Chain A
Amino acid sequence: MAEKILEIKDLCVEFNTDRGVIRAVNGVNLEVYKGKTLGVVGESGSGKSVTALSIMRLIPSPPGKIARGTIDYRGENLLEIPFDEMRRIRGNKIAMIFQEPMTSLNPVFTVGNQIEEVLELHQKELSKEQRRDKAIEMLHLVGIPSPEKRVTEYPHQLSGGMRQRVMIAMSLACEPDILIADEPTTALDVTIQAQILELMNKLQKELGMGIIMITHDLGVVAETCDDVAVMYCGQIVERAEVKELFNHPQHPYTKGLIESIPSFDSTTGERKDRLPTIEGMVPSLFDLPDGCNFQDRCNFATDKCRGSEGEPVLKSIGTHHDAACFHPLS
């Protein structure tokens, strides 16, 4: 068993809005292991990104507030350590890649400057020349051609894929323990996405970091993750090892998600009839039903799901397989 480096327990994040308090993340438990990739899947508004930002303590406050829970990183609760201490961890031990490579780089600094800034903050013993060398080495590592030249270029001179590589180079400059990738390939074309995912896999093997891969694309999950957590309305509804999850989904929502992806098994040329869908839509966080949040879209919902016995909680239904459902599928 790999070493556990991060453990999130009972995390609740609330936001104050004009219409009242909403709970964007509600009782989330997650574990990250060294050298492994944890996938967090869900639709927009399910709380994936808020979970990630909480780990980095980047939740804007106000309006956001971490109401409850602990985030243990190697024996320290990240939510309680002083701000200065957090600064030493952020970007150094735990790094993050954001979705939009177009907007997450500073347009008025060269990419070299931006990678060197990370080193300047966290590896103060390095000289200016050493930092430049390290920046070039990082650009080389992420597969940017002629890094000596690129290091003096500005973000607008690079393509989307290149910028995302720079983001990865920046986040890996201090060889972090944990890399949080928030939809790292969503804004990229498929051929570039394949390059970036391949690169992340390769770097994980070399550097042995744990990765949290946040995505809505089940294809990306199937190809890159070891374990998967499925989120819905701020809660984890199912959690399992990747093959187990795809082969034996237990929560009706997970099953619906997997089935609603068009697949490529057509060789006959006949037009398939209809895609299986999940009816209805995600309920508003302002107006969550009693009981299971998925009840209105579920074919198996009973009175139990509608609140007669409270909310379903995540419980074990097999080896390393948990689901929050009163009527798991098999």
Chain B
Amino acid sequence: MSEYLLEVNNLTKKFPIRGGIFGREVGAVYAVNDVSFKIKKGETLGLVGESGCGKTTLGRSLLRLIEPTAGEVFFNGVDITKLDADGMREMRRKMQIIFQDPYASLNPRMTVGGILAEPMEIHGLFKDKEERRKRLLQLLDQVQLPADALNKYPHEFSGGQRQRICIARALAVEPEFIVCDEPVSALDVSVQAQVVNLMMDLQKDLGLTFLFIAHDLKVVEYISNRVAVMYLGNMVEVAESHELYGGARHPYTKALFSAIPNPNPNVTHDRIILEGDIPSPMNPPDGCHFHPRCWNATDECRGSYPPVTEESSTHAYRCYNPNQLS
């Protein structure tokens, strides 16, 4: 058994663009392009990037909620892209997802008890009513909700509480791996901190492995062991989270982290203001996709996409002219 729970090789997801009266394929968007990474057991890998960079598509293709076009996803040594529907259903017991919007991802016509019990029913995880009830109460306790929540409906809860229900639903089948797709973005600051703490506690207690997708870099840096940065479908840098702020090698990572407003008015830091917007993924620039906005760009960058450079076992980047570390 390897120390990695999840191993992703050359994962690609292509969305065809259809046009003309016959709906022929006239182009393609590579939402995820040739991405490889590994996640250790019990680790949290953060995934950041701007909107449209492919974070969510990547997260969902790991669970085959979006069918990847090419590549392999090994979970506990099994390539899940080759599994049939039954095999995949079995596998999903071990892999769960928490969605961004706790208002849209709970069925308003089901009670909390029904919502939490449904995944367990599907996988046949309880024998009788007594066992079901015991397990439901245990789940509510894990996410610090009161027991009387069982018979209430989602609209009776605030955003933070609903996200706790979503977390409990993911935990119901006792998974090993959870994709967290922007789980705290829709929450207020003070509630966000509560949910982040809850997730970190659960990880410690249950030995969970997380892929934590977010655009809030401060939260990601806080919760993750390592962070991966995506730009236009490509993973441009992966590093230990504490390395990223000061020791970023890819210019995009550096710009991204310097753009975060600093909640400390006493220090002023040099900010890199990137020119322009993210190019359209339908028509990405040749070579390195970042070169039109990059201040280090050379002819080499315009020619071909940079290969992966592994600086250490935990730090890799794709850039011809990385930042020099001082």
Interface: B146 (CB within 8 A): no
Q: How far is the CA of A191 from the CA of B257 in the complex (A)?
A: 9
Binds A, one of B27-35, B111-119, B147-155, B192-200: B192-200
CB distance from A298 to the nearest CB of B (A): 12
Binds A, one of B95-103, B134-142, B212-220: B212-220
CB distance from B151 to the nearest CB of A (A): 21
Q: B222 and A190: CB pair below 8 A?
A: no
Which residues from 272 to 286 on chain A have a C-beta closer than 8 Å to any C-beta of chain B? Answer: 272, 274-279, 281-282
Interface: A219 (CB within 8 A): yes
Interface: B160 (CB within 8 A): yes
Q: A271 and B225: CB pair below 8 A?
A: yes
Q: B261 and A197: CB pair below 8 A?
A: yes
Q: A272 to chain B: which residues have CB within 8 Å?
A: 222
Q: B242 to chain A: which residues have CB within 8 Å?
A: 266-269
Q: A263 and B263: CB pair below 8 A?
A: yes
Given contacts A219-B261, A223-B261, A275-B197, contact A44 B188 (CB under 8 A): yes
**Chain A interface extent, by class:** 35 or more
CB distance from A253 to the nearest CB of B (A): 8
Interface: B10 (CB within 8 A): no
Interface: A234 (CB within 8 A): no
Measured CB to CB, the nearest residue on chain B to A297 is: B190
Interface: A87 (CB within 8 A): no
Q: B194 to chain A: which residues have CB within 8 Å?
A: 277, 279
Q: A161 and B262: CB pair below 8 A?
A: no
Q: How far is the CA of A210 from the CA of B190 in the complex (A)?
A: 29
CB distance from A283 to the nearest CB of B (A): 11
Known contacts A159-B278, A272-B222, A275-B197, then 5 further A-B pairs from the complex at CB < 8 Å, ordered by chain A residue: A192-B50, A194-B274, A260-B193, A267-B242, A281-B190
29 residue pairs bridging A and B, Cβ less than 8 Å apart: A161-B277, A190-B215, A190-B259, A191-B255, A192-B50, A193-B261, A194-B258, A197-B261, A198-B271, A198-B273, A217-B261, A218-B263, A219-B260, A222-B262, A222-B264, A222-B265, A223-B261, A246-B264, A260-B189, A261-B218, A261-B263, A262-B222, A266-B221, A269-B240, A269-B243, A275-B193, A277-B190, A277-B194, A281-B160
